[in-house]
């Protein structure tokens, strides 16, 4: 819904509104020892396990996501429906490369790899499960990969949601909804 929100506000008002939302989300990433990578519109990309290894990285990411959903409700309280932000979160665990990426004149510290792409695809897949469950009273907000589930299954509540083959991948993967 970010595009429709941006239509309703001047660029200055949108900047103030978005910065207040991003501050809430980024502070939670920091609270759970994550590394804030970048903002992409209203999206926040963050990661755990680099530059310093974190044995409980998957659990920290899951706890962060749950807290972000909790605080999103607080952020949206009292706002008209058309100005409420609605998000989905994708979490993927796997081998990724962290480092400086970009052009010769402009580099950013970020991640790259198949698991990064899967996390992004999972974030977007939340919209598909929303469309499929209209009227059912429930839809996904946080999707985690099979690898993430294997790391945290004894510490979180999650339900197997589907087996999917995300765009650009040949091998299907089991996905779970983090409850």
- pTM > 0.75: yes or no: yes
CA distance 35 to 47: 5
pLDDT at 21: 97
β-pairing, 89-91 vs 142-145, is parallel
Element (H, E) at 66: helix 57-76
Report how far residue 119's alpha carbon sits from residue 5's, in angstroms, rounded to the nearest whole number. Answer: 25
Q: Alpha-carbon distance 151 to 93, whole Å? A: 8
Q: 69-122: per-residue pLDDT in tens?
A: 999 999 999 999 889 998 999 999 999 999 999 999 999 999 999 999 999 999
pLDDT in tens, 139-179: 689 999 999 999 999 999 999 999 998 877 888 999 999 99
Nearest CA to 57 out of 174, 148, 154 is that of: 148
What gap in Å lies between CA 27 and CA 84, rounded to an integer?
19
pLDDT of residue 131: 52
Split at pLDDT 50, 70, 90, the class of 137 is: low
Exposed/middle/buried for 122, CB within 10 Å: 0-12, 13-18, 19+? buried
- Distance (Å, rounded) from C-alpha 146 to C-alpha 92? 8
Which residues neighbour 158 within 8 Å (Cβ) at sequence distance 6 or greater? 144, 149, 152, 176, 177, 178, 179
Confidence check: pLDDT of 7 > 70: yes
Query: What are the beta bridge partners of residue 127?
Result: none
pLDDT band, very low/low/confident/very high, at 138 (cuts 50, 70, 90): low
């Amino acid at each position: 819904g970010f595009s429709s929100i941006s239509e309703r506000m001047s660029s200055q008002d949108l900047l103030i509104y978005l910065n207040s939302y991003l501050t809430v989300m980024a502070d939670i990433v920091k609270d759970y020892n994550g590394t804030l990578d970048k903002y992409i519109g209203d999206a926040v990309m963050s990661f755990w396990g680099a530059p310093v290894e974190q044995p409980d990285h998957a659990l920290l990411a899951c706890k962060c996501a749950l807290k972000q959903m909790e605080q999103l409700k607080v952020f949206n309280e009292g706002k008209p429906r058309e100005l409420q932000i609605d998000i989905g979160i994708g979490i993927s665990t796997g081998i990724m490369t962290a480092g400086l990426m970009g052009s010769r004149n402009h580099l950013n510290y970020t991640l790259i790899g198949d698991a990064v792409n899967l996390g992004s695809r999972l974030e977007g897949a939340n919209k598909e499960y929303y469309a499929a469950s209209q009227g059912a009273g429930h839809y996904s907000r946080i999707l985690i990969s099979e690898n993430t589930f294997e790391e945290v299954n004894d510490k979180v509540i999650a339900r197997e949601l589907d087996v999917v083959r995300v765009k650009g991948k040949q091998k299907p993967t089991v996905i779970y909804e983090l409850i």
